[in-house]
Amino acid sequence: MFNAERPSLDELPSSAQLLRSTVIAAASAGVILVAFVLPAEYGIDPTGVGRVLGLTEMGEIKRDLADEAEQDRAIHGDDQSFNLLDPVLGLFVTTAYAQEAWRDEVSFTLAPGDYTEVKLVMAEGDSAQYAWVAEGGRINFDLHAHGDGQSIDYERGRGETSGEGSFQAPFAGEHGWFWRNRDDTDVTVTLQLRGDYSELVRSE
């Protein structure tokens, strides 16, 4: 049986060495926190390193999306019981339907910091197609739905200038967009729509 020799007291680190190692570890953790974690998670960059590495923009995106999600919760409540992406991205638009004329076109201009909503009143199983373009700047959006005690997030975007797609309503309710202008100029959005919805509603 192998017995390890006990180290002598001279081989053990002294209290001063342990203290120095602890201070170095704490300082390193502080540098990592300030230079990398704060920019990447919160968009706070006191050293400028995060901006150089692209971490600050990542944190700003997270902060903006969190702000818009909070704004959406303030408008619609905090019911997130139905949060699926799968039902919306599996639809294929046939060639004949793709050539069909748009049913509605909505255009609006948002000043910096302003927001609006455009919703489609739909029954369960209804489908809709859309295409939109932003002029004069970029736009943030949240495509979601709520109704009958359920809610769903279809898609979110930040700093976008156009989009198109389709979705199918997994439940009856209002399905549509929350738009916010985070740019520093007026942005005009033109949204084209067609599908099985019974009503188009815009609110500010």
Query: pLDDT for 75-111, tens place per residue?
Result: 555 444 444 444 444 444 434 444 569 999 999 999 9
- What's the pLDDT tens digit per position in 19-60? 887 888 888 777 787 677 777 777 787 778 767 777 677 666
Same domain, 58 and 89: no
Q: What share of the chain is helix, strand, coil (3-state, %, to 5)?
A: 30, 35, 30
In a domain? residue 3: no
Q: Regarding predicted confidence, which is higher, 203 or 189?
A: 189
Question: Which domain covers residue 22, as residue numbers?
Answer: 15-64
In a domain? residue 10: no
Q: Regarding predicted confidence, which is higher, 68 or 137?
A: 137
In a domain? residue 192: yes
Cα 59–181–39 angle (5° rounding)? 10
Distance from the Cα of residue 133 to its chain's centroid: 19
| pTM given for the model | 0.55
Same domain, 128 and 199: yes
Q: How many residues does the chain have?
A: 204
